């Protein structure tokens, strides 16, 4: 029988903090510099919305204290703009969300949906005079069905909590962004999040079966289906995935599941003296038809940061580390691991090895997952790129990133989902150094231009948000952008849903 499970994790416990807790206790969503909240007071429409919400919602749902509201005004994107909202609504139910959207729609007030605030593109940043709807308290796993291999969850369920609950029933939810210990399923759906396993098992869109959505008029609708097959009408569930809150607010998600993976996969590691050699090894793995379950790249800057933070003892003499993991059953796993190892050694690996030790494997992949928070510990501003290029041009793109860093005098650390060409150059800037910020912004734009010129995309998994809107136009062209905006206008004629983001 399906089971209903309420998951209360420290990462989503509003009693612990008004915002989710990041590694080492830093609240996600807390501004690196305090937000300058508008003290001029709300407009007439704003006052009407506040009064209506106060009369409709339970008192604990609304946050208006400026010090508390400040912790919800933006996500983790450096330098993405944000405004002062009228209030934050911490919804506990679909009814709370619908009532809030109806009030905002009646008075033309913007609505910004927000999950855990772990985004890296500014997609959850508050709009001046709008209402932030935070879904962190909607964290019930409503159903896990082994027979149908699906789960039904509220949007505030933390990714890792869903994965753990599924594992208890011999099931697996594959999408695993690096933020999985803190990010929520609703946010993952809104941005079509990827992760380490996506090279073989796909991204969030590949697992969403159905959604409950509150529309821009405050209506509650269901799109998609629970069945394994279904082709009735347009794929509105697919349309909502990756829409970043611009078309509606997701209040329930039905995802398909897979059987649990083997518990002892084989891991292959290779150290390379140059990014070019590393890129050639990645291309060789792909060309030979090999399909590792995880295929990741970590450069020297990231390894050094992880060592400094966690005393991990990782080697730092190589320019870059490649990690591949196969989860095939034996003896196929051994054969695939040997083939990957051969590709590494034939294309310049200074050292390469294969292991079945789960402790050793977890330590290596832990370094990949810890790269971003480890770099944060350096006390610098960090602007995160998310470009994706054809796999055959990854070596070229890695070299281009190095050239841009040298030319602009910008410090760049790089991690990547090597198997699908998705690079995350992480640009580090001393806080308060305005000249360095300008150089970093220029490098950011040049990396986007280079990716598009190579037939790539400006965002592989983080979303467009605020930071990539210019890049989106560069990539898609005005005609396709016009089509997207026509869809937005049809579903949100007042333009109140997360205005200024994505489309």
| pLDDT given at position 10 | 36
Least confident piece of the model among 185-194, 268-277, 459-468: 268-277
pLDDT at 33 over 60: no
pLDDT tens-digit readout, 384-426? 999 999 988 888 999 899 999 999 999 999 999 999 999 999 9
In 3D, which of 207, 196, 38 has the Cα closest to residue 126? 38
pLDDT tens-digit readout, 279-294? 889 989 989 999 999 9
pLDDT at 22 over 60: no
| pLDDT given at position 163 | 97
Fold of 5-134: 3.30.43
Fold of 141-259: 3.30.465
pLDDT at 486 over 90: yes
Q: The dihedral of CA 221, 227, 233, 235: what is its sign?
A: positive
Structure tokens at 217: 């008029």
Greater confidence (68 vs 317) lies with 68
Give residue 370's pLDDT band: very low, low, confident or very high (50, 70, 90).
confident
pLDDT tens-digit readout, 159-184? 999 999 999 999 999 999 988 999 99
> CA–CA separation, 389 vs 38, rounded Å?
41
pLDDT tens-digit readout, 231-257? 999 999 999 999 999 999 999 999 999
Q: What is the mean pLDDT of the chain?
A: 89
Contacts 24+ apart (CB under 8 A), 173-180: 173/207, 173/255, 173/257, 173/258, 174/198, 174/201, 174/202, 174/207, 174/258, 175/201, 175/202, 175/203, 175/204, 175/206, 175/207, 177/461, 178/368, 178/369, 178/371, 178/372, 179/116, 179/118
pLDDT at 268 over 60: yes
**What residue ranges in 8-154 does DSSP mark as E strands?**
62-63, 87-90, 111-114, 131-134, 140-145, 150-153
> CA–CA separation, 328 vs 102, rounded Å?
50
Could you tell me the pTM of the whole model?
A: 0.88
| pLDDT given at position 38 | 54
> CA–CA separation, 202 vs 194, rounded Å?
7
Architecture of the domain spanning 266-453: 3-Layer(aba) Sandwich (3.40)
pLDDT tens-digit readout, 82-129? 999 999 999 999 999 999 999 999 999 999 999 999 999 999 999 999
| pLDDT given at position 60 | 94
| pLDDT given at position 69 | 97
Give residue 275's pLDDT band: very low, low, confident or very high (50, 70, 90).
confident
In 3D, which of 154, 153, 135 has the Cα closest to residue 97? 135
Sheet holding 140-145, edge to edge: 5-6, 140-145, 150-153, 249-256, 208-214, 220-224
In the chain, where the domains are located: 5-134, 141-259, 266-453
| pLDDT given at position 239 | 97
């Amino acid at each position: 029988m399906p089971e209903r499970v309420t998951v209360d994790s420290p990462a989503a416990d509003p009693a612990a903090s008004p915002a989710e807790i990041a590694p080492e206790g830093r609240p996600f969503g807390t501004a690196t510099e305090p937000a300058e909240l508008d003290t001029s007071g709300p407009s007439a429409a704003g006052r009407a919305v506040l009064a209506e919400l106060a009369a409709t919602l339970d008192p604990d749902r609304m946050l208006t204290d400026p010090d508390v509201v400040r912790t919800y005004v933006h996500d983790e994107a450096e330098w993405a703009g944000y405004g002062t909202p009228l209030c934050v609504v911490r919804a506990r139910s679909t009814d709370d969300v619908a009532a809030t959207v109806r009030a905002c729609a009646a008075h033309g007030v913007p609505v910004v949906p927000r999950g855990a605030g772990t985004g890296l593109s500014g997609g959850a940043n508050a709009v001046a005079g709008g209402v932030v709807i935070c879904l962190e308290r909607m964290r019930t796993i409503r159903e896990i069905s082994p027979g149908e291999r699906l789960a039904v969850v509220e949007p505030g369920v933390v990714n890792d909590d869903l994965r753990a609950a599924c594992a208890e029933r011999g099931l697996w939810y594959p999408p695993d962004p690096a933020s999985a210990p803190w990010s929520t399923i609703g946010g993952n759906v809104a941005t079509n999040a990827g992760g380490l396993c996506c090279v073989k098992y796909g991204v969030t869109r590949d697992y969403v079966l159905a959604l409950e959505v509150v529309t821009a008029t405050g209506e509650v609708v269901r799109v998609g289906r629970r069945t394994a097959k279904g082709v009735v009408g347009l794929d509105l569930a697919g349309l909502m995935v990756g829409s970043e809150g611009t078309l509606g607010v997701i209040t329930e998600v039905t995802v398909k599941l897979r059987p649990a993976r083997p518990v002892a996969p084989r891991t292959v590691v290779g150290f390379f003296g140059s990014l070019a050699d590393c890129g050639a090894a990645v291309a060789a793995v792909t060309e030979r038809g090999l399909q590792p379950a995880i295929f990741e790249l970590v450069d020297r800057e990231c390894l050094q940061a992880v060592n400094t933070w966690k005393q991990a003892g990782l080697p730092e003499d190589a320019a870059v580390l490649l990690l591949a993991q196969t989860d095939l059953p034996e003896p196929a796993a051994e054969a695939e691991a040997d083939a990957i190892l051969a590709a590494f050694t034939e294309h310049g690996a200074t050292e390469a090895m294969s292991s079945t030790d789960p402790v050793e494997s977890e330590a290596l992949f832990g370094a990949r997952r810890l790269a971003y928070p480890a770099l944060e510990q350096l006390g610098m501003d960090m602007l995160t790129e998310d470009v994706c290029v054809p796999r055959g041009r990854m070596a070229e793109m890695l070299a281009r990133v190095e050239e841009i860093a040298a030319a602009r005098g910008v410090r760049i650390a790089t991690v990547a989902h090597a198997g699908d060409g998705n690079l995350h150059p992480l640009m580090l800037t001393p806080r308060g150094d305005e000249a360095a910020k300008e150089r970093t912004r220029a490098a950011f734009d040049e990396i986007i231009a280079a990716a598009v010129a190579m037939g790539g995309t400006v965002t592989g998994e983080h979303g467009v948000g605020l930071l990539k809107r210019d890049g989106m136009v560069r990539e898609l062209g005005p005609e396709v952008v016009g089509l997207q905006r026509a869809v937005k206008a049809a579903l949100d004629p007042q333009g109140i849903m997360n205005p200024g983001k994505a489309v």
